[in-house]
Amino acid sequence: MAKKIVTKRSWAEPFKIKMVELLKMTTPEHRLKAISSAGYNTFLLRSEDVYIDLLTDSGTNAMSDRQWAGLMLGDEAYAGSRNYYHLETAVKKFYGYKYLVPTHQGRGAENILSKCLIKEGDIIPGNMYFTTTRLHQELAGGIFEDVIIDEAHDSTNLHPFKGNIDLNKVEALIKKHGASKIPYICVATTVNMAGGQPISLENLKALRKLTLKHGIKIILDMTRVAENAYFIQQREKGYANKSIAAIVKETCSLTDGATMSAKKDALVNIGGFLAVNDKKVFEEARNMVVIYEGLHTYGGLAGRDLEAMAIGIEESLSDDHMAARVGQVIYLGEKLIDAGIPIVQPIGGHGIFIDAKRFLPHVKQAQFPAQALAAAIYTDSGVRTMERGVVSAGRKANGENYFPKLELVRLTIPRRVYTQAHMDVITESIEHVYSIRKKIKGLQMVYEPKYLRFFQARFKPL
C-alpha cells in the first residue's frame, strides 16, 4: 500500500543500526592544508580527511543485513553464475525489461548502448545532459541536444516536474534533422544536473506517443527511477495511492530500454546494467559486453555484487524506504531554506543544490564560484560537497567552455548512511560559510584533463 507522508509526523528511518563506521574529526588547519594539496578539488581529497561525505550518492549507500548476507551467497563461476539469474529475475519482475546485460557500473552500460545505437552525426535528445552519458554519446559520434523544459534551468522556478521534456523542442529536432537521425531519446529519472528534479508520467506518456509516431526509441537513464516515482506518488494526479513499485514498473513500461547505475537507487556500492526489450539490440549488446566489461553473465562484477544488486533493487522500491530517503533530503533542504541559503527549489530527490551564483554574486562564472564554494565548505567543517557548474560542464567539441545557467554546489546524501544530527551539523556549517561569503574568492584552473575534467582538475585561489 502506498503511503503519503502525513504532515507533523516524522519520517524516521525504517531501520536500526547494526554496525558503525568511525569518523575522524579534523582541525581547520588540517583541512586548509588538505584542500590546498588537493588543488581545491574535493574529488582529490582523501576520504579520511572528510568528516561528512556528501560528494556523491554513488556507491556510498549502506547495504542492509540481507544484502551483506547475499554477498556470502556469491557464486563466483566465470559463466552462468546463479546470482546473474537472480538479477535477471529482479530486473524482469520489478522493471519489466526483457533482456539484461550487467555492467560494472552505469557508464559501462552507456558505452555499450551508445556504440550499439548511435551512428556518426546522429542526434541524441535528452532532458539535460549528464556528464558520462553525453560523453559516451559524443565518443560514439552523436550530438547531444537538450530538450528539457526551460523551467529546469531556473533554480527558483517551483515547477513540480522540472525534469519534464519540452515536446516542442523534440518536434523541432525531428523536423530539422528527420526522425531517422534520432535513434533514441535519453530520458533521465530524476534529472541529476537540474537538481534531482523528477519527470511526470503524464509527460513521459506524451513523449511515448510522439516517439511511436516517428519510430524513435526511448532509453531511460533509470539511475534514480525510484526517487522519481516517489515524487510522482506525492505530486502527480492519480498516483497518490499507487506504490513506488507500481509507479516504477509503469515508468519502465513506457520505454524501450534503460541504462542503470545501480550505485544510486539500487543501494549497492558497485554495479549497473543495460536492459532492453529489443532482441536484436540485446544480442549486439551482449556481444559487445565481452569486449569492454566481461562475460555477459557477470559484466565486470563479482557474483556477490550481482546478488547484492538483486536484493537492493527490491529494497529500493519499498514505500517506507523512499519516504525516509527523500524525507531526509527534504529535512536538510528546509533547514537551509529557513536559514536563507539560496538552493535549487523544489528540493530534489538525492541532494541539495546550492545556487553558487546567488551565494557568491561577486565571483564571475569563469572563476568557478561553485568550485570555490565547495572548497570553502570543506575547510569550514570537513563536509565534502562537489561542483556542478562550469567545471562539470566541460568544453564543447570546438574547445569552447560550456557555460551552464546553473552553477551549483551539490550536497548529495548517501542512502541510509547519515543521521538527522549530521544534517543539523551540515546546516550550521553552511550558515557560517554564508555569513563570511564576501571573503570567498574565485579560483584559477591550473591543470585540466581532457575528459570529464571535474574529477581531476586542479585549481589555485585568485
Residues that bind ligand PLP (CB under 6 A): 58, 105-107, 130, 132-133, 188, 192, 221, 223, 261, 263-264, 272
Q: Nearest approach, Cβ of 384 to ligand PLP (angstroms)?
A: 17
Tell me how far, at minimum, the Cβ of 203 lies from ligand PLP, in Å: 17
Report the nearest approach of ligand PLP to the CB of residue 270 (Å). 8
Q: Quote the least distance from Cβ 118 to ligand PLP, whole Å.
A: 16
Comparing CB distances to ligand PLP, the nearer of 104 and 416 is: 104
CB of 222 to ligand PLP, least distance (A): 9
Residue (62 or 174) nearer to ligand PLP, CB: 62
CA distance 36 to 378: 11
**106 versus 257: smaller Cβ distance to ligand PLP:** 106
Question: Closer to ligand PLP at the Cβ: 301 or 354?
Answer: 301
CB-nearer residue toward ligand PLP: 31 or 263: 263
Which residues are catalytically annotated?
78, 130-131, 221, 264, 388, 454
The helix-helix angle for 369-381 and 28-37 (nearest 10°) equals: 150
65 grid coordinates: 543485513
Three cell numbers written together for 49: 580527511
Question: Is 228 or 379 the residue whose CB approaches ligand PLP more closely?
Answer: 228
Neighbours of 267 (CB within 10 A): 26
Which residue lies nearer to ligand PLP by CB, 131 or 367? Answer: 131
To which residue does cell 592544508 refer?
33
Q: Determine how β-strand 217-221 pairs with β-strand 257-261.
A: parallel
Question: At its nearest, how many Å lie between ligand PLP and the CB of residue 58?
Answer: 5
- Least distance (Å) between residue 106 CB and ligand PLP: 2
Q: Which residue is nearest to ligand PLP (CB)?
A: 106
188 vs 317, which CB is nearer to ligand PLP?
Answer: 188
| Cβ at position 305, least distance to ligand PLP in Å | 12
Instruction: Kindly state the cell numbers that stand for 55.
Output: 560528494
SS3 readout for the chain: CCCCCCCCCCCCCCCCCCCCCCCCCCCHHHHHHHHHHCCCCHHHCCHHHCCEECCCCCCCCCCCHHHHHHHCCCCCCCCCCHHHHHHHHHHHHHHCCCEEEEECCHHHHHHHHHHHHCCCCCEEEECCCCHHHHHHHHHCCCEEEECECHHHHCCCCCCCCCCCECHHHHHHHHHHHCHHHCCEEEEECCEHHHCCECCCHHHHHHHHHHHHHHCCEEEEEHHHHHHHHHHHHHHCCCCCCCCHHHHHHHHHHCCCEEEEECCCCCCCCCCEEEEECCHHHHHHHHHHHHHHCCCCCCCCCCHHHHHHHHHHHHHHCCHHHHHHHHHHHHHHHHHHHHCCCCECCCCCCCEEEEEHHHHCCCCCHHHCHHHHHHHHHHHHHCEECEEECHHHHCECCCCCECCCCCCEEEEECCCCCCCHHHHHHHHHHHHHHHHCHHHCCCEEEEECCCCCHHHCCEEEEC
CB of 136 to ligand PLP, least distance (A): 9
Contact 258, 274 (CB under 8 A): yes
- Give the CA angle between residues 292, 399, 441 to the nearest 5°: 105
β-partners of residue 257 are 219, 276
Q: Which is nearer to ligand PLP, 27 or 47 (CB)?
A: 47
